[in-house]
Amino acid sequence: NGEASLFEVNIRYIGGLLATYYLTGEEVFKNKALELGEKLLPAFNTPTGIPRGVINLGRQGTHPYKHFLHGMSWSWGWASAGSSILAEFGTLHLEFLHLSELSGNPVMNIRRVLNRVEKPQGLYPNFLSPVTGSWVQHHVSIGGLGDSFYEYLIKSWLMSDKKDSEAKKMYDEALEAIEKHLVKKSAGGLTYIAEWRGGILDHKMGHLACFSGGMIALGAEHEAEERRQRHMELAAEITSTCHESYARTDTKLGPEAFRFDAGSEAMATRLSERYYILRPEVVESYMYLWRLTHDPKYRLWGWEVVQALEKHCRVEAGFSGIRDVYTTTPAHDNMQQSFFLAETLKYLYLLFCEDDVLSLEDWVFNTEAHPLPINHTDFKA
């Protein structure tokens, strides 16, 4: 009702409004995106310009202090020392760049802060203070809390028609640090991206981190030959590991997180990580790898997901997440997440489409799979 808003959710919604505008030409969607963008701007009123994670958007409702709270922003209660989250404040550029082009107002440039701050081993930790501009703790993850920041660097460069050199430089340096410090190979030969906690590796990969195969392949496509080959191989290996996390379950759907320790490989070893909530990241990488290599195994793997979804997740009213991927009779959680429609089904659809349906030559997908046009000088949506 506008009393309180999750900043990140509204950024994703702006992406959906903009995508609808570009695909239909209907001005109402553009105007709503601009209106919502204006409402989010008070979240940037911090000493660094890094936005906080939650903002009060409106004056509706019955709160006695609703007029005072309008436009007020704050950090998540669980975020360390009132910090902002890398995957939230670092995942704005595609949407806000389009808003600035449509409105004539300059984009919020968070990159200046991130360029200036010292990065441990070249890595970006997940928590940053919006007051001091310093990292709050040294936890690095390519999965939850960090994920979409990295894809927005390479996608910002692509969306600019390869003119945004700052974004490309930051992406190249971040990927180099990830390759050097986080990419590991298991005893069984599976390549994975570990998490980093103050210099100590946690040999765990979340389902959310499985987007990285597609991201690395997307970036590799535009590299010189030696680097392109290396990165395409890395992308294929990571995507294969994520496929293994599905193939090694009874349902052929992947767990929320899987580990590479104590003799276990690409499997959840904790009860709290055995669930599947219709996440899209694995099929996202299948789609990108198919589009860029046309290796038929990616369509085969995608079809395996379709069959598993039909068998284990379809219910009378739609699709539901399941509580344990390692049982042949899983219990449903009775929730159909919004990203299932926005991403999982869309990426599966695109995996089996011709390449000219939302071509990667003309479109980039924001982190919620909403298509935004690449800024070709002659582009018409």
The torsion angles phi and psi of 146, rounded to 5 degrees, stand at -125, -30
Amino acid at 116: R
Determine which one of 8, 88, 95, 343 is catalytic.
Answer: 8
Q: Classify residue 26 by burial, with Cβ atoms within 10 Å: 0-12, 13-18, 19+.
A: exposed
Determine which one of 95, 256, 343, 368 is catalytic.
Answer: 256
Amino acid at 198: G
Does 329 show up as a binding residue in the annotation?
A: no
147 a catalytic residue: yes
For the stretch 188-206, what's the b/e string if a residue is b when 16 or more beta carbons lie within 10 angstroms of its beta carbon? eebbbbbbbeeeeeeebbb
Determine which one of 88, 164, 221, 281 is catalytic.
Answer: 281
256 a catalytic residue: yes
Q: Which residues are annotated as part of the binding site?
A: 367
Q: Which residues are annotated as part of the binding site for Ca(2+)?
A: 367
Catalytic amino acids? 8, 147, 256, 281
